[in-house]
Amino acid sequence: MKQLLTAVVFLLISTALVAQSNTATTTQTGNLQEANTTQTGTLNEATVTQTQSGTPANSPAYMNKAIVDQTGTHNIATVTQDELGGGNKGGNDAKITQNGTDNVSTQTTYAPGYNGGQDVEALQDGIGNTVTQSITGGYTDYFYAEQIGNSNTATQTGTGITTNTAKIFTEGNNNTATQTLAGTNNGYYGGIYSNERILIDQFGNGNLATQTFTGVGTSHGNSADIQQIGDDNVADQTGNGRNIYADFVQDGFDNIASSSQNGEAQQVFVDQIGDRNKASVTQYHEFNFADVNQSGFADWAHVNQQFGSGNTATINQLGGIGGTLRMGYNNLAQVYQSGSGNILTGNQSGYTNGLVTSQQGTNGLINATQVGDISFDPVENQPGTWGFNNYATLTQKNGDGSQMTLSQDGADNYAKSMQDGNLHIGNITQTGVDNFGTITSVGNGHSGTITQTGGMNEAVITQSN
């Protein structure tokens, strides 16, 4: 049995010869514990409690290990580690480093399970930062949080977990990041894009990021990443299953992104550059893919792939074209896919354009583009290349292998398509202002094409057999 306890406490005396109190309390029971506490400053408090029971099957250099290093004023660090019976008792490891004022960090580990290897770390530099970390059960778990700035909050929680990695990096002020991992194999090396293994990066102020993942099964894992640059952005990722991946990048102010994925091998990518953009993705079952790219102001995209498998949705709302650097704004894209093997690609440039699609069969294809090419820029009140107020509703109800291609170039154009059956082909192209085109195909194997150039044209195609 070996126990090593080192507690170094520095007491500072004020110029008024009033003693300032540092407190360090360490309690160890069992085998091979090690605790090292160093405090410098005023009113620092560190409490380490470690418990190890029985002789481990595999004996590493240490079973429980806790290191607390605090520099500053009013720092509080609490580490509690427990390993009682069960598994190989590989070992817990906890590290807290705080530099600044009024920092609070709490770490709790509990490690029965077949193997050990829990590791919880927290590094804080600034004022008023708070980190809370908890690992309960499982093996080979690793949490890490680093905060630079002031008044940041990081929370990491694992329940019944195995083979997890969770990392939070925060730089700035008033950022909040929360990670909750449950089940098995979150961050497992064999998962999709497994190098990320549940990450949060935040640079800026007032950003909020939340990741909640529940792993299922073996030999596959969930992985994710959130990167927010700017202020007051919100990101929320939820996954339940295995081989689920979510990747968000938000650069700007007041952007909101969310994803909810349930099943196997789901992937979602959201990139938002600009301000006040919103994106939400819902995917259930298996092998669905969603990619949302928005660059501009107040664009909104929603993808629902809740009742099918193997569907793909890509939305690009990118703003300026034709040499102009101005971003678009207030574009709407709403995608609903059920069934399987459907593909949707939507591209919108300009402002106040709307695209609504629904695919309910199998192997359907929709390619929709709404891009401006008119002679008036309402923002600058001068000639430009901007489309606005274009709207399209495209529906593939049942059947297999239907295709629809839409291209609207101008302003105030409206297009509608409904395909019900198999192997329909539709094409709508409108250029100008105030054009109206609609295609309805019911049955099998219909082909319809509308091409309109100019203004105030109207075309209606109805097909059935």
DSSP state letters, 200-214: EEEEEES-EEEEEEE
More confident position, 39 or 195: 39
State pLDDT tens for residues 263-274.
999 999 999 999
Pick from 18, 66, 67: which is nearest to 42 by CA? 18
More confident position, 133 or 161: 133
- Which pLDDT score is estimated for 102? 74
- The amino acid at residue 121 is E
Using CA atoms, how far apart are residues 412 and 427, in angstroms rounded to an integer? Answer: 19
Using CA atoms, how far apart are residues 275 and 148, in angstroms rounded to an integer? Answer: 25
Tell me which residue has tokens 């430009």: 384
Our CA dihedral for 92, 97, 103, 107, rounded to 10 degrees, sits at: 0
Dihedral (CA of 443, 447, 452, 457) sign: negative
Structure tokens at 313: 């949705």
162 contact partners, CB below 8 Å, separation of at least 6: 113, 138, 139, 140, 141, 184, 185, 215
Structure tokens at 334: 């709403």
Every domain of the chain and the residues it spans: 270-465
Pick from 270, 165, 290, 282: which is nearest to 228 by CA? 270
Least confident of 77-81, 170-174, 377-381: 377-381
Structure tokens at 88: 């190989």
- Which pLDDT score is estimated for 77? 77
The answer, yes or no, to whether residue 58 has pLDDT greater than 80, is: no
Using CA atoms, how far apart are residues 327 and 410, in angstroms rounded to an integer? Answer: 17
| DSSP letter (8 states) at residue 350 | S
Least confident of 31-35, 230-234, 253-257, 381-385: 381-385
Q: What is the pTM of this model?
A: 0.83
The answer, yes or no, to whether residue 386 has pLDDT greater than 60, is: no
More confident position, 263 or 2: 263
Pick from 293, 292, 294, 289: which is nearest to 342 by CA? 289
The answer, yes or no, to whether residue 301 has pLDDT greater than 70, is: yes
Number of Cβ within a 10 Å radius of residue 8: 12
CA distances from 114 to 83, 293, 462 (A): 12, 43, 66
Least confident of 166-175, 323-332, 354-363: 323-332
Residue 53: exposure state from Cβ atoms within 10 A (0-12, 13-18, ≥19): middle
- Which pLDDT score is estimated for 188? 60
Least confident of 17-21, 168-172, 334-338, 457-461: 17-21
The answer, yes or no, to whether residue 16 has pLDDT greater than 50, is: no
Using CA atoms, how far apart are residues 417 and 435, in angstroms rounded to an integer? Answer: 14
State pLDDT tens for residues 205-217.
999 999 999 887 6
**Polymer length in residues for the chain:** 465
Contact status, residue 319 vs residue 355, Cβ threshold 8 Å? no
The overall average pLDDT reported for the chain is: 80
Residue 70: exposure state from Cβ atoms within 10 A (0-12, 13-18, ≥19): buried
CA distances from 95 to 23, 108, 290, 422, 438 (A): 18, 11, 38, 62, 65
Structure tokens at 131: 């980190």
Number of Cβ within a 10 Å radius of residue 187: 28
State pLDDT tens for residues 229-264.
999 999 999 999 888 999 999 999 999 999 999 999
- Which pLDDT score is estimated for 119? 78
Number of Cβ within a 10 Å radius of residue 194: 17
